[in-house]
Amino acid sequence: MILRRLWRKAVNNHIVIKVVFVSHQDFKSARKALAKRLSIFLPDTEADAESWRWFEEGLGWGRARIIAYGEELVSWDLENQIDAWFNRRKDGEPWVYILGWIMWRGRRFNVTPETLIPRPETELVFESAVQLATLIGARHAVDVGTGTGILGITLALDTSLDVTATDISKEALSVARQNAQCLNVKLNWACGNLLEPVNDPIELVVSNPPYIDLEDEATLQRELFFEPRSALFASDHGMEVVTKLIKQSIDRNAKGLVVEIGSGQGDELRSRAACMGWQTVDIRQDTAKHDRVLIARR
């Protein structure tokens, strides 16, 4: 059943009648109904959590507002918007791409299908980079494969480091530039592969490169197939790009390197880095006890 609400308002001595179509659902029931629809292809707990994100991030109706005003009826336009989002989501498109932005360490970053979706785990890379920069006395950092720019921009905002951000994708660099502009921070930009477009001297290298094994592609969740392949997959059991960056960094006399890696890659990459000449190589694990960050210094 569709209801109509009418407003009468005097404008320049004329009566204006505005008709707004509203659905039979209020915001409380609409949020619960969305969770049920999402549970068709998501576990119940994930579906419930994501439904709250849709309402809070997409519609501006967070928990507090729904608790206070949740009996207000949803407009027909908003119901159509939810349906349009759902039709994209059921095909596997990640919510972040549908929304177009994500919060990372308290800041909003625009995200497009040309960029990897930022993950909470990458915060460990940022924290490790800040610690290493202090230890080696770095004044300049290079964010390799910047994507949305989360690492380079956050380093530029939260430290005194002068940051250069690189990416092989012009489209990704465009998104990162836009994010830097929105956050009112200045970086240096370079388009090219790994460290190739960066001039010496290089002090600190930071990166979240592709590290997923190509052989694992068939087993991955469908949402990943919407993200750029070049930012996800690498040969050599996922270690090809990381290994190249480890080698390039020491060949270019970098003082330190912080790079995100995949689960189970720590021992092999530590050995490779040590053989290339890095004096100290540490592996940090995330909260799930998975190898997550390689930290190397001379």
Predicted TM-score of the model (pTM): 0.89
Average pLDDT over every residue of 69-96: 96
User: How far apart are the C-alpha atoms of 8 and 16, rounded to whole Å?
Assistant: 6
Residue 64: closest CA among 56, 73, 75: 56
Peptide bond connecting 201 to the previous residue in cis, omega within 30 degrees of 0: yes
Please report which confidence band the pLDDT of residue 14 belongs to, taking 50, 70 and 90 as the band edges.
Answer: low
188, burial (CB in 10 Å: exposed 0-12, middle 13-18, buried 19+) = middle
Which pLDDT belongs to residue 8?
A: 46
At residue 13, does pLDDT exceed 80? no
User: How far apart are the C-alpha atoms of 242 and 236, rounded to whole Å?
Assistant: 10
Task: Please report the beta strands in the chain, taking only residues with DSSP state E, as ranges in sequence order.
Answer: 3-11, 14-26, 73-75, 101-104, 107-110, 140-144, 162-167, 188-191, 204-207, 212-213, 233-234, 256-260, 280-285, 291-297
Please report which confidence band the pLDDT of residue 196 belongs to, taking 50, 70 and 90 as the band edges.
Answer: very high
At residue 106, does pLDDT exceed 60? yes
Please report which confidence band the pLDDT of residue 11 belongs to, taking 50, 70 and 90 as the band edges.
Answer: very low
Give me 276's structure tokens. 């290339």
**Secondary structure of 88-125 in HEC code, one letter for each residue:** HHCCCCCHHHHHCEEEECCEEEECCCCCCCCCHHHHHH
Domain boundaries, the chain: 26-91, 101-297
Instruction: Write out pLDDT tens, residues 163-189.
Output: 999 999 999 999 999 999 999 999 999
Which pLDDT belongs to residue 118?
A: 98
Instruction: Write out pLDDT tens, residues 49-77.
Output: 999 999 999 999 999 999 999 999 999 99
**How far is CA 67 from each of CA 27, 28, 49, 251, rounded to the nearest angstrom?**
9, 8, 16, 58
Please report which confidence band the pLDDT of residue 2 belongs to, taking 50, 70 and 90 as the band edges.
Answer: very low
Please report which confidence band the pLDDT of residue 6 belongs to, taking 50, 70 and 90 as the band edges.
Answer: very low
Please report which confidence band the pLDDT of residue 24 belongs to, taking 50, 70 and 90 as the band edges.
Answer: confident
At residue 4, does pLDDT exceed 60? no
Domain 101-297 of CATH type 3.40.50.150: yes
User: How far apart are the C-alpha atoms of 74 and 76, rounded to whole Å?
Assistant: 7
At residue 32, does pLDDT exceed 60? yes
Please report which confidence band the pLDDT of residue 10 belongs to, taking 50, 70 and 90 as the band edges.
Answer: very low
SS3 state of residue 126: helix
